[in-house]
Structure 1
Amino acid sequence: MTDPAGRLLWITPALPGRVHDLTAARAHRIIRTCERQSTPVLADRAYMGAGP
């Protein structure tokens, strides 16, 4: 995850095998953490329905 300037904010450990980005985001609680901290997130259509 990066900020709008492209600076690295968050990197997660690798998950085994082929894992969809949304599954990885949920496994590492990225969506929940951003929601709790009121951090706005821009993502592509693969994340539609992931949360507010």
Structure 2
Amino acid sequence: MSDTNLVGDESRLAEIDLDLPEPPDHEDEVTDSVQPEPEEVSDAVLDQ
């Protein structure tokens, strides 16, 4: 049992494979999107 850990209580165990990559965080994807924030857009329009 070198690559896995057992988590949970005695009645309910789940085997976790530590070699799997963590799933991507969807909030980070939204924050890192190419679209600028609304404030940045309004500032750009005002500067024109």
- Using structure 1 for the length normalisation, give the TM-score: 0.21
Structure number with higher strand proportion: 2
- Using structure 2 for the length normalisation, give the TM-score: 0.22
Query: Which one scores higher on RCO, CA 8 angstroms, separation ≥ 6?
Result: 1
